[in-house]
Chain A
Amino acid sequence: MSTVAAQRVVGGPQNASRGAIRIEDVVKIYDSDGSAVMAVDHCSIDIKAGEICMIVGPSGCGKTTLLNAIAGFHDITSGRILLDDEVLCGPGKPKAEPGPDRVVVFQNGGLFPWKTNLENVTFGLLMQGKMSKASVTEKALSMMADAGLTGVEQNYPGEVSSGMRRRIEIVRALMTDPKVLLLDEPYRALDSLTKSVMHEALLEIYYKNKVTIFFITHDLEEAIFLGHRVAVMTSRPCRPKKFLDIDIPHPRDYSVLTSKRFRELLEETGEAVHEEALKAFATGEKEG
């Protein structure tokens, strides 16, 4: 069986030509006050272009550290990270440069409360100055409409629901046509009903835009529902403990949640996750 056929069978990634991330043997040690704390321990993950890779682990296990390294917010101690064979950070260049090819959607929301929703969405392209304001606005309005966000363009983020804010933030990220979306537990604060709506909306956006998704969560159901692949991480220091291919075909909708296969996968992974959660609980790591 060829690899392409194999991908079809597992409902594999879309045929994206860009956005492959290679995390090679990355180590991150925090040493701010002299007592070295290892957050990421020889971590290697290979993410295919156009894949939805879900990173699952208990809160505070060091997942966000990994994301920050890819995004370019933190340096790494050793190892390297590549995006489409281009070194983002590695020996001699410990910190990646943040840029519009890898856009982050933040845990607590990164929309600027002092800009209207439309101004938030147009922000990236206007700052880059490559397009005229009129064409940026046009693109923004059509992308917002596509995501079901009409009527709130002139509102401020503080005036719309948190679910809607998340959707706007994802649209804002996609405006700059990134290769990779880095999502840091974006739905953490949402109630489970809103969450389910958001999951379907994210998949819908994903099917329309060829983009690689690096998605951090502590919610295993979310991970299995959305991902092509789930990486269960160990608790501090953070390292992949188990990879799980999710062979439920895309496009998926909410009926997947009640399917037999979904339950099986949940069971298969549940134990590994629970084990790490217990460890994290025992060490009393602070969430974050």
Chain B
Amino acid sequence: MSQAPFYVSPEQLMKDRADFARKGIARGRSVVVLRYDEGILLLAENPSPTLHKIAEIYDRIGFAAVGKYNEFETMRQAGVRYADLRGYSYHRSDVTARGLTNAYAQTLAGVFTTESKPFEVELVVAELGLTADTDQLYRLSYDGSVMDETEHVAIGGQADAITATLKDLRTSVMPLSEVFDHGVRALAIATSGTLATKDLEAAVLDRNASGHRTFKRLSDALMVSLREDED
């Protein structure tokens, strides 16, 4: 005896999936990406020293993610493969954050509508321009929607609180130490506590880097010195 299928309206279906994804993302800790005068800072609250939320995709492209580790790790690796293949087939300068963001958006949207469960992730793709006014920050949601930001962008459960703290701040004209401090403070306020340096993960895309690869992780020692500059 077969059961009559229940009717679920498309609106309800999408809403259920969105709620599911949002709940998963809200459980994790946040990441904030901020421009500074000589580059872009990627900053995450992450107690694990090895399971990274921030990563290098290509020479001038950085990646930050929150949500379910295995899902954003898949996205990160796909991004590295996409960028390396593109750079090898054409030229290193032909790898752009916009192209990568499109590919991410299509994949996330595809999974959101066709798979049995959406990806519980939010991503930031940051591209360091040759000059400051060509820096790009893209924020991608679990459903594949894309937003581009100008100064800073936060993702994760406390994204709204972080964005509220950083509101009206023009970080792109400030030096790294000042921006780092703003970032740490915003993360700390959102989690309503203080943040130990060992619970932070940070990296920069540095416009003054000597080689073609501009991505650099910040060591704990360097982070401590950046924090002391300001306090």
A and B pair up: no
- Give the interface of A toward B (CB within 8 A): none
